[in-house]
Amino acid sequence: MKVKMCMLILALVAIIGAWGKCGKQKKMVFRRMPLCEHVAEIPWCPKTYQPVCGTDEKTYNNECQMCIARIKTKQDIQITKDGVC
């Protein structure tokens, strides 16, 4: 009985340890849609520099510039974070 319990505990420790390593390697990414989600025409954009990082791993000067890229490329580019990639 003690041997089985020890084996069970060792197995659980191994599983939890392996899961913890995988969890540390993955990076959580929270995406959000830009404000122009349903815009069909290319908007006029202000020249303010408020960089955003897109799901295409490109940094855009601001959210409006990302909207232009979404319209031109017809890709579903979303914001992964505020700031440079």
Identify which has the larger pLDDT, 1 or 33.
33
| Its pTM surpasses 0.75 | no
E strand or H helix at 59? strand 59-60
Q: Which fold has domain 30-84?
A: Wheat Germ Agglutinin (Isolectin 2); domain 1 (3.30.60)
pLDDT tier for residue 29 given thresholds of 50, 70 and 90: low
Question: What is the C-alpha end-to-end distance of the chain, expressed in Å?
Answer: 55
Domain positions in the chain: 30-84
pLDDT tier for residue 6 given thresholds of 50, 70 and 90: very low
pLDDT tier for residue 80 given thresholds of 50, 70 and 90: very high
Residue type, 59: T
CA dist 6 and 24 (Å) reads 27
